[in-house]
Structure 1
Amino acid sequence: MSVQEERNALTPRTALYDHALRLLRESPDGVPPRRGYSLPRKTATGEDPLSREEAKRAVREAFSPLPVDPVTLHRRFERLGIQDRHKHLITSIVAGLPQPVEQVDVARALGRGLIRTGTTAPAVTAGIALLGRLGESEDVPYLTVLGVFRVLTGPAVNALEILDRQSAAVVWLAVHARCDELQPLVHALWTDNRQAVLPELVALPASPRFVSSAVARRIAEASQLPDLLDHHPSGTDLLTYAGRLLVRMGCSRDDPTDLLAYRDALRVYDRVVSRAGLLPPTLDNAAMLLSLALDLSSGTGVLLDWPPERRAALLDSLGRLLAEPRWAAAGATGDEADQRPRAGWIRRTGRQPFKRPAMPDKFRIEVVVGDPAYREPVEARVLIDGRPVVPTVFGRGPAHSPEYLLDEGRLRAGAEPREVQLAEADCTEGCCGALYVTIRRDADQVVWEKWRQTMPGSREPAPEPPAYRFDASAYHAEIARAETDCTWSWRARTIARLIKAGLIEEPDLLSRWDAGRGWISSGFDDPDTAVVTFWYVPGLASGSPERADSPLQFRWVIPDDGTSPEAQATAALRRLAEEDPKSYAQVCGGSRERAEELGFSWPDSA
């Protein structure tokens, strides 16, 4: 060992807590940067010699018997090969350790010693986990400071959520809120400048681009939203933004479980709905209140722990308000081109959440169109005993569209069991999974059973819901009603659905051109267009496809020309029958090399 190595070995390392304090003192106004700080050094190098099971046993051994001082735990971790990458194991194992009453004070003292003097991520993580179980209010400032290290943010926030949810939210926002627009609010929250919180909060944009469901929840928690609403009972800007935060938290495209995790959701719903009459009747406010009503009727809001009849009372209150002439007029206005889709959505959807069935249905389908201004999805929401299935079981993406679940008869029950994908994570199944159920007919009943969730990277199977049985006649009557109900659809969407139905009935319209049906719906960027996509594989029509693993995807955009949707769909199908669609559609997928090989131009934006 060299002299320098000996000196380094003998020199005590700086505690991570002290290092974080120094970094904050050197930061402008004492506010951590976005994404937090890196650790001052890696506390372990090289490959991990331990398998997952070996690491589990090592962590358990390190705590048996329970150390009485931080130095002992540091030494055990080093001897057993426990490294930074084991922090998730440390957190989960410490959370599950048996804790005899006589050792509570010892464990709490150990946790405090570790977070205040610990020099490695594993040791500090263990201290955070111990205080997540046994901590008290005096530990909050230390956990808050340690949370500025991004590798410790998750454990620190988890512990703080038990001790002080506001502090947990402030730490989370300081590290994870990356948009420039959010930084003034983060600054006010971190420096505890309460006078600046309200103006910075109402100045924030509510677009999903800036405020995801997770950010919305943390903003509400960090700003102590119910208290703000109580201190400013007539503040309409604050009331509007509170409603928008609730909408964002329950957004099915994002992570609706954020709404369920927000402990003050019922209080904020009460404040927003009971004071909604104070709001100016604008198109934006009408859309916000309608979105809240749709969520309270058939979305994640149903799943909150409501007192008896309270949710129904809030829905009734919203229904009466939005039916008033001034609000009906606000929802009908939208002369600007970018407002027309939203105004049309309100006209079509405005009374849907208030038309509750006379008798509760065991099985019901609600096709719900989200606010088009925020490009919210169209969902075929399945409700069992009045509760939406997808956010109850899955919660990582919206229910599938009616085109997927209804137009192709996937929810119909036959003698042969059929597995149906009810929902997929918005980022795709390969990333965050999907939800499946098997549907079959059993005499005079329909059975939903064998629920399955795909969860890439998960080592534990997801909990499986029970099997459900429905009266077959009532079930098929509800399926038939939902399949034929088009009141939710707008013109371009109807055109697309009619074209798709025609291609399902006559697949030869595409196959004669060596093409197969792809995605068909209204345009994502322009909902007033119908979009037909198809895959081209030379030789498909003859039964001898050439390089079927390298198809080209084409996209045909059909603007709404003002004639009836039926006439436009018929004209589109006729054109497909008479003209090769590759001559008027544009390449939108596949590969540049394959496109050039087949004589097609590759789009610059692809």
Structure 2
Amino acid sequence: MLAPLLSDPDTVRAADEIHRGLHALGVRDPHVQAAIAELPLEDAAAARALGRRLTRTGTSTLTVNVGIALLARLGEPEDVPYLKVLGLLRALTRPVVGALTALDCPTAALVWLADHAEIRALRHLIDAIAARDDHEARTWLINAPLDSGAVGPSTARRVAEAVQLSDILGAEQTDTQAVAQAVAQAGRLLSRMTGLRDYRPEILSYRQATTTYTAFVARAGQLPPTPDHYAILLSVALDLHSGPSVLLDWQPGQREALLHALEAVLHNESWTAVAESEPEDPAERRRVHWLRRTARQPFHRATVSRFRVEATVRDPADPDTVEARVLIDGRPLVPEAFGKGPANSPEYLLDSGRLRAAAEPREVQLAEAYCTEGCCGALYVTICREGDQVVWRDWRRPPSRQPRAELPEYRFDAGDYDAEIERAENDRTWAWPARNTARLIAAGLREQPGLLTRWDGQVGWIGTDFHDQDSTAISFTYWPGLAAGQRDKDGPWLQFVWSLPDDGTPPEHQAATALRQLAERDPKTYAQVRGGSRSHAEVLGFPWPEPEDPEVTT
């Protein structure tokens, strides 16, 4: 449909035909971009003129995308101002960044767009600016907003490399504000590179990691004591203590010295006062409470170092998976042996008793790939007790598409192992109230599964709401006939989620109240439909969520 119109000298007529034709075909914006990239262009001048017509007068993202794709191949400097303004529309940011990059536009155009675009559109812009090797790009990146939705682990590494982070930290500066900004940004980047939203810890691919950590810690005392700066220093300390950063090529005692230096900074009176404050803003208050719960964890010297399990919560300003980190001889097992996702949660590994050792061997999933096991695999081990030893052996990492080094058999003193498992299972210092409420509700439903079954409900996941960590979420699937043992597996079903905001009472009270309500009232009357299908909802007589609701699952 497009090919014959790209050479039409009448750009007005061609633009109208493109508009009508694309909408009649029902294609989507990415299809347009891919099609234009592959089309032969017989008349470059006519195609360029059409691209300009579409970008400047197009009335749908489909037609404008055709124009952007044409200018990505044929554009000139005069097209840059139009493209960068179009990039302010979130739906067009990615193709615009591609076009501006193809045109080798001035860095200033990308910086202008990054300063004005929505946060969620920043990811592609930051990647593009990080690819520029000039002063303007480096200056902007060292001050760029590192929103978690815009800057993932791999982007953080590219930014650190682009700005030459270790050199910036090591340079002499007299501007205290500029120094503080550079140090804070360095801490954010280092912490982000150890994040779990990627398929391997990017910090291990950052060649200047140990140098940058050393330079960062040397400057840490120059940060003013604020909740944000405290959270940055504590996040770095957590990574150095039990995260993938432990696996870097450290000199003997070097990492321990950095942790000791960070501990000295954070235990200064002015810094401890920050953790004792009580901000009015709920998000800031949640963060300060995390500081209090976590302040000692990275500086704890374990008495038993051979085997250790640490429930670890990252900065709530950058929500991520809560994981039960397994350390063997002080080294984090999951990033070293697997590296495609975080360790499983404390609820999965500890509350369930899965890590306990018995004479009967038991296989346990320690971690799952960020994208799911079916895509990139998982890490399994078999745990058993042999006399006075606990043995971890028979490792599996399915699916094994690539040959990988065999993992060794680990043997632990059974007394030390049991003591560590008991300590870890009973340690709830890491958990916040809503998380504890979720744990108690889950335990109650394991003991009384009939509380949901009587309402034709099958329990799903129970935890804290990802978008509101102070709310407990209980999910269940409604299967008509389940209570009577007559569930039709091919019949209609719906997923419900019941959200319980933290009301300030003890978690034990909140959990007991929730379990009592489940026993007395059908949860389908107060929970919200969050999954299934519109047709199933209509058949079963429940309203289907509006399409714009981000929580809907199909």
Same fold (TM over 0.5): yes
Aligned partner of residue 496 in structure 2, secondary structure: strand
Q: What does residue 397 of structure 2 align with?
A: 453
The AA in structure 2 aligned to 1:577 is A
Contact (CA 8 Å) 1:552, 1:591: kept in 2 or not?
yes
Contact (CA 8 Å) 2:437, 2:510: kept in 1 or not?
yes
Q: What does residue 16 of structure 2 align with?
A: none
Q: How many residues align?
A: 436
Aligned partner of residue 431 in structure 1, secondary structure: helix
Tell me if 1:213 matches 2:153.
yes
Describe the shift of the 1:149–1:602 C-alpha distance in structure 2 as closer, same or farther (beyond 3 A).
Answer: closer
Q: What does residue 214 of structure 2 align with?
A: 270
Aligned partner of residue 334 in structure 2, secondary structure: helix
Pairing 1:324-339 to 2, within 5 Å after superposition: 324-333=268-277, 334-339=279-284
Q: What does residue 290 of structure 1 align with?
A: 234
Aligned partner of residue 159 in structure 2, secondary structure: helix
Tell me if 1:536 matches 2:481.
no
Q: TM-score, normalised by structure 2?
A: 0.74
Q: Distance in 1 between matches of 2:161 and 2:39?
A: 30
Report the alpha carbon displacement of residue 428 of structure 1 after superposing the two structures with TM. Answer: 2.0
Structure 2: segments with no counterpart, 5+ residues: 1-32, 41-96, 103-119
Q: Distance in 2 between matches of 1:186 and 1:470?
A: 49
Contact (CA 8 Å) 1:184, 1:200: kept in 2 or not?
no
Report the alpha carbon displacement of residue 346 of structure 1 after superposing the two structures with TM. Answer: 0.5
Q: Distance in 1 between matches of 2:358 and 2:257?
A: 40
Q: Distance in 2 between matches of 1:355 and 1:442?
A: 30
Tell me if 1:204 matches 2:144.
yes
Q: What does residue 533 of structure 2 align with?
A: 591
The AA in structure 2 aligned to 1:493 is R
Q: What does residue 314 of structure 2 align with?
A: 370
Tell me if 1:507 matches 2:452.
no
Q: What does residue 172 of structure 1 align with?
A: none
Pairing 1:237-386 to 2, within 5 Å after superposition: 237-333=181-277, 334-358=279-303, 360-386=304-330
Describe the shift of the 1:550–1:308 C-alpha distance in structure 2 as closer, same or farther (beyond 3 A).
Answer: farther
Q: Distance in 1 between matches of 2:122 and 2:281?
A: 29
Report the alpha carbon displacement of residue 292 of structure 1 after superposing the two structures with TM. Answer: 0.4
Q: Distance in 2 between matches of 1:576 and 1:351?
A: 38
The AA in structure 1 aligned to 2:418 is H
- Residue among 490, 500, 506 paired with 2:432: 490
Contact (CA 8 Å) 1:319, 1:354: kept in 2 or not?
yes
Contact (CA 8 Å) 1:236, 1:278: kept in 2 or not?
yes
Report the alpha carbon displacement of residue 555 of structure 1 after superposing the two structures with TM. Answer: 0.6
Contact (CA 8 Å) 1:39, 1:149: kept in 2 or not?
no
Report the alpha carbon displacement of residue 183 of structure 1 after superposing the two structures with TM. Answer: 3.9
Q: What does residue 112 of structure 1 align with?
A: none
Q: TM-score, normalised by structure 1?
A: 0.68
Q: Distance in 1 between matches of 2:127 and 2:461?
A: 41
Please list the CA deviations of residues 47-100 of structure 1 after superposition, one character each: whole Å capped at 9, or x if unmatched.
Answer: xxxxxxxxxxxxxxxxxxxxxxxxxxxxxxxxxxxxxxxxxxxxxxxxxxxxxx
Describe the shift of the 1:550–1:422 C-alpha distance in structure 2 as closer, same or farther (beyond 3 A).
Answer: farther
Q: What does residue 580 of structure 1 align with?
A: 522
Q: Percent identity?
A: 53
Report the alpha carbon displacement of residue 179 of structure 1 after superposing the two structures with TM. Answer: 4.8
Describe the shift of the 1:571–1:225 C-alpha distance in structure 2 as closer, same or farther (beyond 3 A).
Answer: same
Please list the CA deviations of residues 436-484 of structure 1 after superposition, one character each: whole Å capped at 9, or x if unmatched.
Answer: 11212222222111211124xx632333311111122221221111111
Contact (CA 8 Å) 1:266, 1:306: kept in 2 or not?
yes
Report the alpha carbon displacement of residue 262 of structure 1 after superposing the two structures with TM. Answer: 0.9
Q: Distance in 2 between matches of 1:221 and 1:265?
A: 10
Report the alpha carbon displacement of residue 244 of structure 1 after superposing the two structures with TM. Answer: 1.0
Pairing 1:30-179 to 2, within 5 Å after superposition: 179=121
Tell me if 1:472 matches 2:423.
no
Q: What does residue 134 of structure 2 align with?
A: 193
Contact (CA 8 Å) 2:143, 2:182: kept in 1 or not?
no
Contact (CA 8 Å) 1:182, 1:204: kept in 2 or not?
no
Q: Distance in 1 between matches of 2:403 and 2:361?
A: 22
Aligned partner of residue 469 in structure 1, secondary structure: strand
Please list the CA deviations of residues 386-433 of structure 1 after superposition, one character each: whole Å capped at 9, or x if unmatched.
Answer: 111111111121111111111111111222222211111222223322
Please list the CA deviations of residues 250-292 of structure 1 after superposition, one character each: whole Å capped at 9, or x if unmatched.
Answer: 1123345310111110110011111100011111111111000
Describe the shift of the 1:412–1:233 C-alpha distance in structure 2 as closer, same or farther (beyond 3 A).
Answer: farther
Describe the shift of the 1:303–1:40 C-alpha distance in structure 2 as closer, same or farther (beyond 3 A).
Answer: farther
Describe the shift of the 1:208–1:553 C-alpha distance in structure 2 as closer, same or farther (beyond 3 A).
Answer: same
What is the alpha-carbon root mean square deviation over aligned residues? Answer: 2.7
Contact (CA 8 Å) 1:437, 1:448: kept in 2 or not?
yes
Contact (CA 8 Å) 1:249, 1:255: kept in 2 or not?
no
Contact (CA 8 Å) 2:199, 2:370: kept in 1 or not?
no
Please list the CA deviations of residues 544-567 of structure 1 after superposition, one character each: whole Å capped at 9, or x if unmatched.
Answer: 212267532111111111211111
Tell me if 1:414 matches 2:414.
no
The AA in structure 2 aligned to 1:592 is R
Describe the shift of the 1:468–1:188 C-alpha distance in structure 2 as closer, same or farther (beyond 3 A).
Answer: closer
Contact (CA 8 Å) 1:498, 1:566: kept in 2 or not?
yes
Please list the CA deviations of residues 209-232 of structure 1 after superposition, one character each: whole Å capped at 9, or x if unmatched.
Answer: 121111111122222222222224
Describe the shift of the 1:497–1:547 C-alpha distance in structure 2 as closer, same or farther (beyond 3 A).
Answer: same
Q: What does residue 544 of structure 2 align with?
A: 602
The AA in structure 2 aligned to 1:424 is E
Q: What does residue 66 of structure 1 align with?
A: none
Q: Distance in 2 between matches of 1:278 and 1:582?
A: 55
Q: Distance in 2 between matches of 1:305 and 1:402?
A: 29
Structure 1: segments with no counterpart, 5+ residues: 1-33, 42-147, 154-177
Contact (CA 8 Å) 1:256, 1:300: kept in 2 or not?
no
Contact (CA 8 Å) 1:414, 1:440: kept in 2 or not?
yes
Aligned partner of residue 493 in structure 1, secondary structure: helix
Please list the CA deviations of residues 526-545 of structure 1 after superposition, one character each: whole Å capped at 9, or x if unmatched.
Answer: 11111111112122222221
